[in-house]
Amino acid sequence: RFWRSLCTLPFPTACRQPIPKEGAMARSFTAKVLLTGLLATASADDNATAVLRRLQAGMPQACYSACPGLQSTMTSLQQQMSPQGPPDVSQPGAIGRMMEDTMNKVYDAMCNNKQAFKCLAANSNVCTPSDSGSAYFNDAANQVDCVCDACPALKRGYAKFYGVFMGSIMAAFQNMGSGNNGNAQNLQSSDEVTRGICSMTDGMECASQNQGACAAALSSGQAASALTSFKDNIPALKTLCSSRNFPMSL
C-alpha cells in the first residue's frame, strides 16, 4: 500500500510543484520528496558505507599527484572518522545521524582547505572514480564557493537535510522489506523531513540570490532533485516552516 500510494504521485514533475503550506498538503509534499529519493537511490545503507570506504581508502594516487594539498586533508578526515564504523541500521535514525556528521566534517575540512577541494573538482577525471563514495566528495567540492563563502548558512542546513533525507529513504526500504506498511505510511506524515528542509531555508534564500557561486550547491548530488522546487519558492517555504515552528537555519 505504501509503494502504491507513493507511485500515484506524479514524477518527475512532483518535485516542481508549488510548496504546500500546511496540513495534508505538506504531508503529501514530504512523500514526493521521499519518492524522489527512492527512485534516485538504490540503498541509503550502501551509499553511507561507500562514503566511509572512500574516506578510509582515500583518493587515488593520481588525484594526490594532481592536487598535492589534498592528501593531508584526507588524512586528517580519516583520523576524525576512524572511530566511526558503518552505522547500526537497526537503530532508528542511525544512518541519518552518521551522514549528517560525515557531511559536517567534510564541509569543515573543505572550507578550511578550499583550494585543495577546488582542485579535486577540477580534476574529477582522476579524483572521482565511478563509485558513489567518490561522487559524494565531488558533489561537495563543487559547492566550495557557495557553502564556504557566499552562503555559509547552507553548510549546516544541507548536512542536516541530507542526513534526514538518507535516513528517511533507508527507513522506507526497511519498512517495505518487513511488510510494516503502517509504519511506512507514518513516514509520509513525519515532521522530520520537513524539519530538515526548513533548516535549509535561510541558506537556500541566500543561494537563490547568489546564482553565480551557488548554482552547483542546489543542482548536483543525489538529494538535489528533491530540492528543485524549494529554491524557487522561498516565501512559501518560509510560510510552511513558520506555521510549524520549525527553525529555518542551524
Instruction: Give pLDDT tens digits for 171-189.
Output: 766 666 555 554 444 443 4
d(CA 70, CA 126): 13
DSSP 137-148: HHHHHTTHIIII
Q: What is the pLDDT of residue 224?
A: 59
Per the rule left: phi > 0, alpha: psi between -120 and 50, beta: everything else, 140 is alpha
Q: What is the distance, to the nearest Å, from the Cα of residue 113 to the centroid of all Cα atoms in its chain?
A: 21
Question: How does DSSP assign 13-65, residue by residue?
Answer: GGGGSPPP-SHHHHHHHHHHHHHHHHHH-S-HHHHHHHHHHHHHH-S-HHHHH
Q: Which of 154, 39, 53 is nearest to 140 (CA)?
A: 154
Q: How many domains does the chain have?
A: 1
pLDDT tens string 15-37: 344 444 455 545 555 555 544 44
The whole domain housing 88 covers 1-202+210-250
User: What is the pLDDT at residue 88?
Assistant: 62
Peptide bond into 12 cis (omega under 30): yes
Residues 202 and 235 sit within 8 Å (Cβ to Cβ): no
Model pLDDT, residue 27: 53
How far apart are alpha carbons 204 and 123 in whole angstroms? 27
Closest CA to 222 of 51, 30, 4: 51
pLDDT for position 35: 47
pLDDT, one tens digit per residue, over 72-111 is 998 888 888 765 555 565 665 777 788 888 888 888 988 9
The per-residue pLDDT for 96 is 79
pTM of the shown model? 0.69
